[in-house]
Amino acid sequence: MIPKLSLRQVFLLDGIGAALTAISPFAIRVIFGDIFKMPINILFVLSGIAAVYALYSLTCYVLPLNNRKPFLRGIMVANLAYCGLTLSLVLYYWSTLTWLGIAYFLGEIGIVLMVVMLEKSIFAGSKAI
């Protein structure tokens, strides 16, 4: 069952999720050490992208926009690109990643894809607010 969210609320959900995506690999690394075996520079790139997405989505949530639909389309495309990049990196580093690393990144891709499906359903059923 898909929850009833407004366009504005979906930006809040996306922004919070992107912020968590930006900080979680480093929080896990601090607590548990290098359990994923993803190179730190790659984690910085992925986290930086997620931080930009968080800023975008939270800005769309806060600003009094008359039409949020084009902005929602933008973050949907960006989220799909992030999934593609992450999957490419998982495949590239497959032999060095731990099973926890593989599970983490594939799980993250799954969650982002679920958010995109939610965004798509809200996009398709919404008016220009």
Q: Where are the alpha helices (DSSP H) in 33-98?
A: 40-62, 69-92
Task: Record the tokens describing residue 30, joined without a space.
Answer: 């601090």
Nearest to 18 by CA among 119, 92, 99: 119
Q: CA-CA distance, 95 to 8, in Å (whole number)?
A: 41
**Which residue shows structure tokens 């730190």?**
40
Per-residue pLDDT of 42-99, as tens digits, reads: 999 999 999 999 999 999 999 988 888 999 999 999 999 999 999 999 999 999 999 9
Task: Record the tokens describing residue 105, joined without a space.
Answer: 């990144």
Per-residue pLDDT of 5-39, as tens digits, reads: 888 999 999 999 999 999 998 888 878 788 899 99
The full set of domain ranges for the chain reads 7-125
pTM reported for the whole predicted model:
0.90
Contacts of 12 (CB under 8 A, 6+ apart): 57, 58, 61
Q: In this predicted structure, what is the pLDDT of residue 43?
A: 92
Q: How confident is the model at residue 127 (pLDDT cuts 50, 70, 90)?
A: low
